Amino acid sequence: MCLFYLAKEIQLAKKNPGDILTSDWNPVVGCLRYSAGCRDCWWLDGIMPWQVRLGNLPSTVTEGMPTEIEARFDPAKLRTKKGIVGVVQHGDIFWDKVTDATIARVLDIVDQVAREREEKNARRPAGRLPDTTKYVLWTKRAERMADFMERRYPQGVPSYLACGVSVENQMLADDRLPHLLRVRGYRFVMIEPMLGPIDLSAYADVHWIVLGSETGTDRVRPLEPEWARQVRDFALAHHLPFFLKQVGSSHKNSVRMLDDRTWDEFPPGFVK
Ligand code: SF4
């Protein structure tokens, strides 16, 4: 991919109707490939080296070691972001190389900014719409997320936070989703890249299902529309909001239609 194209893609990313996020905030970056869906990680292979070349990330950022970007640990940086905000999208915050202290530092800022918004909402003049900003975390390291969130929020995860687990196939769904179900708060399943059929029958107790195909490389593993259809039908049968990011294999010309329509559903209170 040429750098110009990648730059344009990133500028457009948050305007992309196939993206569930309005914006993201990445005070920590970095990851290590972990399972099948990581083979062609968009961040490690594309954005990280490009951002290092541009000087937006330190040259010390490498695969396998998390990097904290001090200047981004600033509540003011998060205050500017509204809608649905991805927290630590450029990596996996629950990767074992990210310390508990660092995760807590990130969530301390999320909690502070979210509470400020709640206080502002409480003071807003009659008739003025509230700020409904949500903060979204998702991980492949589901067990650590569930353990961490239980310890941090023993009364339940605050309603401004949503916890997601990313799965690629049935084996990984069966491994990770039981941990997602332990999270007491908004729970969502992120099936991306979908690499095989997934039966979610045992995991209906979630609030949102998001699904997307693998895109962008010349060795892309294509999604069978029937796999997406089965998950969509499961969501419909269980009255769960379903967001289909895309089903095609190109991120230049994304294919978002399934059975003659797009599926852009969000849980109540999530406004992009
Ligand atoms: S967990 Fe996500 S960020 Fe980490 S290597 Fe895999 S795809 Fe990339």
Give a yes or no: residue 195 inside a domain: yes
pLDDT at 218: 87
| Residue 85 counted as domain residue | yes
What backbone phi and psi angles, to 5 degrees, belong to 230?
-65, -40
Q: Mean pLDDT for each 10-residue chunk of the chain (272 residues)?
A: 40 72 97 97 94 93 93 98 97 97 98 97 94 97 98 98 98 98 98 98 98 92 97 98 96 92 97 94
Could you tell me if residue 220 is inside a domain?
Answer: yes
Whether residue 139 lies inside any domain: the answer is yes
Q: In the structure encoding, which two tokens stand for residue 95, read together?
A: 């990767």
What distance in angstroms lies between residue 35's CA and the mean position of ligand 1's atoms?
8
**Residue 29: closest CA among 91, 104, 103, 85:** 91
CA 262, 266, 268, 271 dihedral sign is: negative
Tokens encoding 4 = 């110009």
Instruction: Detail the DSSP E strand segments found in the chain.
Output: 23-25, 28-29, 67-68, 84-87, 134-139, 161-167, 186-191, 208-212, 242-246
Buried b (16+ CB within 10 A) or exposed e, 188-218: bbbbbbbbeebebeebeebbbbbbbbbbbee
Cβ of 39 closer than 6 Å to ligand 1, yes or no, is: no
- 219 with 248: CB under 8 angstroms? no
Instruction: Name the one residue in this structure whose structure tokens are 């968009």.
Output: 42
Ligand 1 pocket, residue 41 CB under 6 Å: yes
User: What predicted TM-score, i.e. pTM, was given to this entire model?
Assistant: 0.93
From 65, 90, 92, mutation site for ligand 1 pocket: most ligand atoms within 8 A of C-beta: 92
Domain contains 189: yes
Contact 44 CB / ligand 1 (< 6 Å): yes
pLDDT in the model for residue 120: 96
Ligand 1, atom 7, lies closest to the CA of 38
18 with 254: CB under 8 angstroms?
Answer: yes
Q: What spacing in Å lies between the alpha carbon of 41 and ligand 1's midpoint?
A: 6
Per-residue model confidence (pLDDT) at position 15? 67
Q: Where are the alpha helices (H) located in 93-155, listed in sequence order?
A: 100-123, 142-152
Total count of domains within the chain:
1
- What residues does 258 pair with on adjacent strands? 261
Q: Is the CB of 29 under 6 A from ligand 1?
A: no
Say yes or no: CB of residue 270 within 6 Å of ligand 1.
Answer: no
User: Exposure of 226 by Cβ count < 10 A (0-12 exposed, 13-18 middle, 19+ buried)?
Assistant: exposed
* Parent domain of 234: 74-121+129-246
Q: Are strands 28-29 and 67-68 parallel, antiparallel or unpaired?
A: antiparallel
Domain membership flag for residue 260:
no
Angle in degrees, 0-180, between the axes of helices 142-152 and 100-123, rounded to the nearest 10 = 60
Tokens of 184: 């007491």
Q: What pLDDT does 12 receive?
A: 45
In this structure, which residue's CA is closest to atom 8 in ligand 1? 41
> Is residue 252 in a domain?
no
Domain contains 157:
yes
